[in-house]
């Protein structure tokens, strides 16, 4: 049993107090507010209790009741009643009150929302003769209510009246369990606890009932323009400490040393090894690949260097495999020549995106062979390899064994029709190519045949126990993204099977074993070893990074489809080799980036590919900004041209660029380019504290690789800055009297220092812009390192008298014409002809979303839908009842009229659903009612449409009758048994289909038959 709690969360006071009170044995783990402990909830929920059965409890009150129950006490009706009251009545009021008091600084008196509940509680207590809520003794209800009220009632300024309540509160608060829980969670500070504020800021906005709590969403991305201004309430101490930091200046802070290659781990430093998934050499990477791997890793590596960590960032192209062989044949070159050519293409794309690798290598090197073969032999010697005969697909037409990526077929697990030979894009399960149903060769579309040969397997089951131990440690201590943990968990849970590591191909790392001399290593075994061999090509002392888990922290960046290879398979290879290898500590996986709600597709020319980005004329930094702003962190996101223009114009131009430019311009125009004297007033100090707080958040988020969220902190700072300038109007005050002029100077000086801080925070995201700002401000080189040390230091880095350079605008507006033309050029809008010409659009791996432009599909689904018709019939009946009631009550005519209109609308929809009324006007209304989203061209969808189709049911009824007649006739004619049997089978089949069409038959087997 394990209890997860977080700082500052009053609910955690409840459970910790009850835990100690009951003395139940349970591990307690402190985690961050955003930690998603409960796997089935989409939002973080804390506290959470992991039960012995593996299920999680997330309701604090239920956790408390459970602990009490374990202690042998049963809940009574009255305890239940108080707990229910706490959850439904008290909690919403408390949350609203805390929000007002802590975040908005309102309320010197008991917040109005709490008056009702508090006096109810006071009255109930007064009416009792017992010292506690339910009995002579403390019950779980006392502790839960006490903890819920603790932050409010511990502040004497907020409590007035309610004497009995106060006595009860003090009585419960004297329990040792309560004292120590408050100390642990709120540092004994109640409302003043910094951690409470952080907790409240992270609470999602709730739409719930009367408890209108307005908080900053957990994902700032969802409310980019929205607030963040008024909910950051600072205490006097925070403001004072911000002023002290500010006064420190740059002098006593250390410099970031220049990078000197080869970078090697150093004693006493944080040694961080960063890798991004190796891009396959033949594919020009698209924006999704770039954000998923190299760009994300680049931002983190740059950030780490700024923080003064000893960072090594390596990547390279993955070059072996049949795809390369093929490409070579096509272009009349050798495989090596192809790799050379495309490796250069990749390198130049990443260079354009300013991805700052310490080394960008490749897998077709001597080191790769050496290291892969070494690992192979070590696994072999230790008995982790098995031999087995494998059946493989061979295409007779193409005269070769088919690599996984050259076979496509129906997934044996989920029946997805376009599963690849190694993995299904839909259910994510790994597939052996021969298990695919209806396999086809992707080159010639012929059906391949199965042939057998002898292969070697990595014995994953034998390594499973060791793997699980390691996973427990690594996921427990490192920053694994939630999806990475989840994918890994489901893999291990399903049980591991031996995996083949050899292949009948030419272009690969040769297997050194004499019995397998004509084979090469399978890419999944070989490619991750590329990280090691690429490092070995960078420095001979590569083992100092890769065989040094004591000193090195390894971060792997990838898209989520790559997770199993990095969290299960590769670690097994390294564990089995028993050579003290460095294993991944932090596995950072993104979700998918879609392109304008469809999938990037090279073959269809949809989407922006790495090599084209620079032809758009949009600067590399803006690309980086937008991709990072969209980074599919936690959920899929979609690239959209219009959105890109909006974000460029609103966030970069109007917010960030505007602020930095104004700050610089004021210095150069009003103060002859010299930073003016600053006499800080309360308002300036507040800004320092606000900026300092955002800086802390930024560091906090970046440390945990929340790259997208951290970007929002930067934008928040410039928003604060713009507001500050707007309110203080330095451009007006400069024309006023001496006091005004001084004020203008202070505001300008503070602003330009904020701009300087922003240049540093921006460096990982927009290196060129960052550099330009520092040049314009003539910032001392030491700023880059110093501001981000520790938990962040917003110091005055441009002191009075500092001479700045020439200031000029940083960003350009993206015009809508420009965007429209780019959108056309890159296929953002697919012409409908193309859709029709293709029998099977390849968008199926993505959430199926038919462009709204296809009304035919919508009508088809909606048109004759029995299910919907039944629903509507009910709705019509209900609405009719309502109208009759209203009429009976002699309600106002307008009210009745409105309900009648609704009724008529429902009736129309019903007719439509029954396929009676073709009125096209209604299609629109119906579209919203039913987000039908299946491409009409998809055969599966056709079945779908038929599935619950009244029309089809009618046809089938006829068919059944006809077939029945036929069978009877044959029987009458005493036909041969086999003949009759065949017809009976047909009849049964038809009957089954009929049941299915009527939605009656649950038998899944039939689905297949129906598809044909």
Partner 1 sequence: MMALRELSSLEKSLGLKNPNKYSTQGDKKVPVLHSNNGPALVGLVTIATHLVQEAKRPELLGGSAEHKALVQQWLEYRLTKVDGCHKDDIKTILKDLNSYLEDKVYLAGNQFTLADTLMYYGIHHIIVDLVIQEKEKHMNVTRWFDYVQHYTGVRHHVPPVVVLRNRVYTSGHH
Region 377-436 residues binding partner 1, contact defined as CB under 8 A: 415-417, 426
For partner 1, the binding residues in 253-292 under the rule CB under 8 A are none
For partner 1, the binding residues in 947-966 under the rule CB under 8 A are 947-948
Judge whether 536 and 362 are in contact, CB under 8 Å. no
Closest CA to 428 of 417, 437, 420, 438: 420
162 binds partner 1 (CB under 8 A): no
For partner 1, the binding residues in 985-1004 under the rule CB under 8 A are 996, 999, 1001-1004
Q: Which is nearer to partner 1, 243 or 929 (CB)?
A: 929
99 binds partner 1 (CB under 8 A): no
735 binds partner 1 (CB under 8 A): no
176 binds partner 1 (CB under 8 A): no
Q: How far is the CB of 87 from partner 1 (least distance, A)?
A: 5
Q: Residue 498 and residue 576: Cα distance in Å, rounded?
A: 13
One residue of 21, 66, 384, 641 binding partner 1 per CB under 8 A = 66
Closest CA to 547 of 716, 375, 325: 375
Q: Which is nearer to partner 1, 140 or 256 (CB)?
A: 140
For partner 1, the binding residues in 20-49 under the rule CB under 8 A are 39-43
Q: How far is the CB of 841 from partner 1 (least distance, A)?
A: 11
Q: How far is the CB of 209 from partner 1 (least distance, A)?
A: 5
1007 binds partner 1 (CB under 8 A): yes
Q: How far is the CB of 62 from partner 1 (least distance, A)?
A: 4
Closest CA to 551 of 773, 312, 271, 777: 271
Q: Which is nearer to partner 1, 85 or 457 (CB)?
A: 85
Number of residues written out for the chain: 1012
Q: Which is nearer to partner 1, 426 or 986 (CB)?
A: 426
For partner 1, the binding residues in 805-844 under the rule CB under 8 A are 844
Per-position b or e across 955-991, b if 16+ CB within 10 A of its CB: ebeebbeebeeebeebeeeeeeeeebeebbeebeebb
One residue of 20, 596, 865, 914 binding partner 1 per CB under 8 A = 865
Neighbours of 502 (CB within 10 A): 24
Q: Which is nearer to partner 1, 226 or 897 (CB)?
A: 226
Q: How far is the CB of 472 from partner 1 (least distance, A)?
A: 21
Alpha-carbon separation of residue 924 from 544, 899, 919, 927, 933 (angstroms): 65, 20, 11, 5, 14
6 binds partner 1 (CB under 8 A): no
For partner 1, the binding residues in 73-92 under the rule CB under 8 A are 77-78, 80-81, 83-85, 87-88, 91
868 binds partner 1 (CB under 8 A): yes
Binding characters for partner 1, 841-860, by CB under 8 A (x = yes): ---xxxxx------------
Q: Which is nearer to partner 1, 815 or 1003 (CB)?
A: 1003
Residues 6 or more apart whose CB falls under 8 angstroms from that of 938 comprise 840, 841, 844, 848
Q: Could you tell me how many residues of this chain bind partner 1 (CB under 8 A)?
A: 71
Q: Residue 274 and residue 555: Cα distance in Å, rounded?
A: 5
Candidate segments 134-142, 568-576, 748-756, 862-870, binder of partner 1 by CB under 8 A: 862-870
Candidate segments 401-409, 611-619, 808-816, 866-874, binder of partner 1 by CB under 8 A: 866-874
62 binds partner 1 (CB under 8 A): yes
Q: Residue 678 and residue 664: Cα distance in Å, rounded?
A: 15
Candidate segments 207-215, 325-333, 510-518, 769-777, binder of partner 1 by CB under 8 A: 207-215
Q: Which is nearer to partner 1, 486 or 723 (CB)?
A: 486
Q: Which is nearer to partner 1, 95 or 756 (CB)?
A: 95
The residue assigned the tokens 């012409």 is 831
Neighbours of 643 (CB within 10 A): 16
Q: How far is the CB of 869 from partner 1 (least distance, A)?
A: 10
Q: Residue 176 and residue 616: Cα distance in Å, rounded?
A: 66
Closest CA to 293 of 340, 221, 343, 357: 357
Q: Which is nearer to partner 1, 427 or 677 (CB)?
A: 427
Q: Which is nearer to partner 1, 374 or 846 (CB)?
A: 846
Q: Which is nearer to partner 1, 61 or 282 (CB)?
A: 61
Closest CA to 219 of 192, 201, 243: 201
209 binds partner 1 (CB under 8 A): yes
Q: Which is nearer to partner 1, 460 or 948 (CB)?
A: 948
For partner 1, the binding residues in 928-947 under the rule CB under 8 A are 929-934, 938, 940-941, 943-945, 947
Residues 6 or more apart whose CB falls under 8 angstroms from that of 686 comprise 234, 239
**Counting beta carbons within 10 angstroms of the beta carbon of residue 855, is it exposed (0 to 12), middle (13 to 18) or buried (19 or more)?**
middle
Q: Which is nearer to partner 1, 77 or 737 (CB)?
A: 77
DSSP 973: T
Q: How far is the CB of 139 from partner 1 (least distance, A)?
A: 15
Q: How far is the CB of 590 from partner 1 (least distance, A)?
A: 18
51 binds partner 1 (CB under 8 A): yes
One residue of 30, 31, 59, 370 binding partner 1 per CB under 8 A = 59
3-class secondary-structure state, position 215? coil
Residues 6 or more apart whose CB falls under 8 angstroms from that of 467 comprise 460, 492, 496, 568, 571, 572, 575
543 binds partner 1 (CB under 8 A): no
Alpha-carbon separation of residue 200 from 11, 95, 214, 217 (angstroms): 12, 8, 10, 10
Residues 6 or more apart whose CB falls under 8 angstroms from that of 53 comprise none
Q: Residue 215 and residue 204: Cα distance in Å, rounded?
A: 6
**Counting beta carbons within 10 angstroms of the beta carbon of residue 2, is it exposed (0 to 12), middle (13 to 18) or buried (19 or more)?**
middle
636 binds partner 1 (CB under 8 A): no
Largest CA distance in the chain: 118
For partner 1, the binding residues in 872-901 under the rule CB under 8 A are 874
One residue of 53, 251, 682, 894 binding partner 1 per CB under 8 A = 53
Are β-strands 385-395 and 449-458 bridged in parallel, bridged antiparallel, or unpaired? antiparallel
HSE-CB at 630 with a 13 A cutoff on CA atoms is: 27
Q: How far is the CB of 920 from partner 1 (least distance, A)?
A: 20
Q: Which is nearer to partner 1, 139 or 776 (CB)?
A: 139
Neighbours of 33 (CB within 10 A): 18
One residue of 5, 13, 63, 950 binding partner 1 per CB under 8 A = 63
867 binds partner 1 (CB under 8 A): yes
Judge whether 273 and 581 are in contact, CB under 8 Å. no
HSE-CB at 984 with a 13 A cutoff on CA atoms is: 10
Q: How far is the CB of 944 from partner 1 (least distance, A)?
A: 4
Q: Residue 55 and residue 49: Cα distance in Å, rounded?
A: 8
Q: Which is nearer to partner 1, 114 or 572 (CB)?
A: 114
Q: Residue 930 and residue 948: Cα distance in Å, rounded?
A: 15
69 binds partner 1 (CB under 8 A): yes
Q: Residue 313 and residue 239: Cα distance in Å, rounded?
A: 38
Q: Which is nearer to partner 1, 41 or 176 (CB)?
A: 41
Q: Residue 454 and residue 448: Cα distance in Å, rounded?
A: 19
One residue of 270, 489, 741, 870 binding partner 1 per CB under 8 A = 870
Helix axes 855-863, 893-913, angle to 10 degrees: 100
Candidate segments 72-80, 189-197, 400-408, 670-678, binder of partner 1 by CB under 8 A: 72-80
Q: Which is nearer to partner 1, 149 or 932 (CB)?
A: 932
Q: Which is nearer to partner 1, 58 or 401 (CB)?
A: 58
65 binds partner 1 (CB under 8 A): yes
Give the pair of three-digit tokens for residue 606.
Answer: 């949809």
């Amino acid at each position: 049993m394990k209890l997860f709690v977080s700082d500052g969360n009053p609910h955690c006071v409840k459970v910790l107090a009850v835990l100690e009170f009951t003395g139940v044995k349970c591990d307690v783990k402190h985690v961050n507010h955003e930690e998603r402990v409960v796997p089935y909830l989409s939002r973080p929920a804390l506290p959470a209790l992991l039960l012995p059965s593996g299920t999680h409890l997330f309701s604090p009150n239920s956790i408390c009741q459970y602990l009490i129950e374990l202690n042998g006490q049963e809940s009574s009706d009255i305890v239940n009643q108080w707990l229910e009251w706490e959850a439904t009545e008290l909690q919403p009021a408390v949350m609203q009150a805390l929000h007002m008091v802590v975040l908005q600084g309102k309320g010197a008196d008991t917040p109005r929302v709490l008056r009702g509940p508090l006096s109810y509680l006071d009255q109930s207590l007064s009416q009792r003769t017992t010292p506690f809520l339910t009995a002579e003794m403390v019950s779980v209800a006392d502790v839960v209510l006490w903890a819920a009220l603790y932050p409010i009632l511990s502040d004497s300024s907020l409590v007035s009246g309610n004497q009995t309540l106060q006595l009860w509160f003090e009585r419960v608060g004297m329990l040792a369990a309560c004292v120590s829980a408050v100390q642990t969670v709120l540092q004994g500070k109640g409302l003043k606890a910094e951690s409470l504020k952080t907790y409240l800021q992270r609470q999602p906005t709730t739409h719930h009932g009367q408890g209108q709590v307005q908080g900053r969403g957990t994902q700032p991305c969802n409310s980019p323009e929205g607030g963040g201004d008024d909910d950051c309430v600072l205490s006097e101490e925070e403001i004072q400490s911000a002023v002290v930091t500010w006064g420190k200046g740059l002098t006593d802070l250390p410099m970031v040393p220049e990078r000197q290659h080869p970078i090697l781990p150093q004693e006493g430093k944080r040694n961080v090894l960063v890798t991004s998934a190796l891009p396959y050499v033949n594919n020009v990477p698209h924006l999704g690949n770039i954000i998923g791997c190299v760009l994300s890793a680049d931002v983190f590596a740059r950030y780490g260097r700024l923080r003064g960590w000893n960072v090594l960032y390596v990547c390279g192209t993955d070059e072996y495999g049949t795809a390369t062989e093929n490409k070579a044949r096509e272009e009349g070159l050798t495989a090596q020549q192809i790799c050379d050519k495309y490796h250069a293409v990749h390198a130049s794309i990443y260079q354009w995106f300013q991805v700052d690798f310490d080394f960008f290598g490749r897998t077709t090197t001597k080191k790769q062979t050496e290291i892969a073969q070494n690992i192979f032999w070590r696994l072999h010697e230790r008995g982790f390899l098995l031999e087995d005969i494998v059946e493989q697909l061979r295409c007779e037409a193409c005269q070769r064994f088919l690599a996984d990526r050259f076979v496509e077929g129906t997934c044996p697990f989920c029946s997805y029709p376009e599963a690849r030979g190694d993995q299904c894009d839909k259910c994510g399960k790994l597939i052996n190519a021969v298990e695919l149903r209806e396999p086809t060769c992707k080159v010639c579309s012929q059906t391949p045949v199965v042939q057998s040969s002898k292969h070697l397997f990595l014995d994953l089951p034998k390594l499973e126990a060791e793997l699980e131990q390691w996973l427990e440690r690594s996921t427990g201590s490192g920053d694994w993204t939630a999806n990475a943990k989840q994918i890994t968990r489901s893999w291990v849970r399903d049980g591991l099977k031996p995996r083949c590591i050899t292949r009948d191909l030419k272009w690969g790392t040769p297997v050194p074993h004499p019995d397998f001399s004509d084979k090469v290593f399978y890419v999944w075994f070989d490619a991750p070893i590329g990280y090691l061999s690429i490092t070995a090509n960078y420095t001979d002392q590569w083992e100092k990074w890769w065989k040094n888990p004591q000193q090195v922290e390894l971060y792997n960046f990838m898209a989520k489809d790559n997770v199993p290879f990095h969290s299960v398979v590769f670690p097994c290879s390294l564990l089995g080799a028993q050579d003290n290898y460095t294993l991944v500590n932090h596995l950072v996986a993104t979700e998918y980036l879609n392109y304008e709600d469809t999938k990037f597709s090279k073959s269809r020319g949809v989407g922006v590919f790495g090599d084209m980005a620079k032809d758009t004329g949009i600067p590399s930094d803006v690309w980086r900004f937008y991709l990072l702003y969209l980074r599919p962190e936690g959920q899929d996101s979609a690239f959209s041209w219009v959105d890109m223009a909006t974000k460029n114009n609103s966030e970069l131009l109007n917010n960030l660029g505007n602020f930095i430019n104004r700050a610089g311009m004021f210095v150069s125009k009003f103060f002859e380019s010299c930073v003016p004297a600053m006499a800080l007033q309360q308002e300036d100090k507040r800004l320092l504290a606000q900026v300092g707080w955002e800086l802390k958040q930024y560091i906090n988020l970046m440390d945990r690789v929340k790259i997208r969220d951290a970007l929002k902190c930067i934008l928040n700072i410039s928003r604060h800055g713009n507001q500050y300038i707007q309110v203080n109007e330095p451009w007006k005050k400069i024309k006023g009297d001496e006091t005004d002029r001084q004020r203008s100077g202070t505001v300008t000086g503070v602003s330009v220092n904020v701009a300087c801080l922003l240049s540093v925070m921006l460096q990982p995201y927009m290196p060129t812009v960052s550099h330009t700002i520092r040049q314009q401000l003539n910032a001392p080189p030491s700023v880059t390192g110093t501001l981000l040390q520790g938990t962040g230091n917003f110091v005055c880095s441009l002191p009075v008298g500092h001479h700045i350079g020439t200031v000029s605008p940083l960003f350009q507006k993206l015009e809508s014409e420009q965007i429209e033309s780019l959108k056309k050029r890159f296929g953002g809008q697919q012409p409908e002809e193309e859709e029709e010409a293709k029998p099977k659009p390849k968008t199926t791996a993505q959430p199926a979303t038919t462009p709204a432009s296809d009304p035919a599909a919508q009508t088809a689904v909606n048109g004759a839908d029995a299910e919907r018709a039944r629903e509507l019939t009910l709705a019509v009946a209900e609405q009719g009842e309502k109208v009759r009631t209203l009429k009976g009550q002699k309600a106002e005519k307008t009210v009745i009229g409105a309900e009648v209109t609704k009724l008529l609308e429902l009736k129309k929809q019903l007719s439509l659903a029954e396929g009676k009324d073709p009125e096209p006007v209604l299609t629109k209304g119906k579209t919203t009612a039913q987000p039908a989203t299946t491409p009409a061209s998809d055969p599966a969808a056709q079945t779908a449409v038929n599935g619950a189709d009244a029309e089809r049911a009618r046809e089938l009824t006829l068919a059944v009758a006809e077939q029945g007649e036929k069978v009877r006739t044959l029987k009458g004619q005493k036909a041969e048994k086999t003949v009759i049997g065949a017809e009976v089978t047909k009849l049964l089949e038809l009957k089954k289909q009929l049941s299915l069409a009527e939605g009656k038959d649950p038998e899944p087997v039939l689905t297949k038959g129906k598809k044909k």
